[in-house]
Amino acid sequence: MTSKVVQYRRYGGPEVLELVDREDPTPGPGQVRLAVRAAAVNPLDWKLRGGAMASGDAPGAPQVPGYDVAGTVDALGEGVTAFAVGDEVVGKATGGGYAEEAVADVRALVRKPAEVGWETAAALPVVATTAYRALALLGLGEGDHTGTTIVIDGASGAVGVVAVQLAVARGATVIGSAGEAHQDEVRALGATPVVYGEGLADRVRAVAPDGVDLGFDTSGYGGLRDLVALTGSPEKAITIADYAGAQELGVTFTSGGDPDDESRALAEALGLLAEGRLRAPTVVTYPLAEAGRAQDDNRTRRVAGKLVLLP
Q: What share of the chain is helix, strand, coil (3-state, %, to 5)?
A: 35, 25, 40
**What per-residue confidence (pLDDT) applies to 16?**
97
C-alpha 209/C-alpha 205 separation (Å) is 5
Residue 21 DSSP SS3:
strand
Distance, in Å, from the CA atom of 28 to the CA atom of 261, rounded to the nearest integer, reads: 23
How far apart CA 301 and CA 217 sit, in angstroms, is: 16
- pLDDT at position 56 is 81
Query: How many alpha carbons fall within 13 Å on the CB side of residue 28?
Result: 3
Show the CA angle centred on residue 261, arms to residues 258 and 264, nearest 5°: 150
β-bridge pairing 173-178 and 149-153? parallel
Q: CATH 3.40.50.720 in the chain, residues?
A: 127-253
Q: 302 Cβ partners below 8 Å, 6+ apart?
A: 296
Question: pLDDT averaged over consecutive 10-residue blocks of the chain (311 residues)?
Answer: 96 97 96 98 94 85 96 98 98 95 97 98 96 97 96 96 98 97 96 96 97 96 94 97 95 91 96 96 97 97 94 95
What superfamily would CATH give domain 2-123+281-310? Answer: Medium-chain alcohol dehydrogenases, catalytic domain (3.90.180.10)
Helix (H, G, I), strand (E, B) or coil at 101: strand
Q: Is the dihedral of CA 148, 152, 305, 187 positive or negative?
A: positive
CA separation for the pair 215, 183 (Å, rounded) = 18
CATH 3.90.180.10 segments of the chain: 2-123+281-310
For position 88, what pLDDT does the model report? 98
Q: Which amino acid is at 298?
A: N
Torsion of CA 260, 265, 270, 276, to 10 degrees: 160
Are 308 and 286 in contact by the 8 Å Cβ rule? The answer is yes
State the Cα–Cα distance between residues 58 and 53, nearest whole angstrom: 11
> What is the pLDDT at residue 5?
98
Nearest CA among 34, 45, 6 for reference residue 109: 34
Beta-carbon count within 10 A of 216 CB: 29
Q: Where are the beta strands (DSSP E) in 78-195?
A: 88-92, 101-105, 109-111, 149-153, 173-178, 192-195
Largest CA distance in the chain: 64
Q: Name every residue whose Cβ is closer than 8 Å to that of residue 281 and which is 6 or more positions away in sequence.
A: 123, 127, 157, 158, 161, 162, 305, 306
Architecture of domain 127-253: 3-Layer(aba) Sandwich (3.40)
pTM attached to this predicted model:
0.94
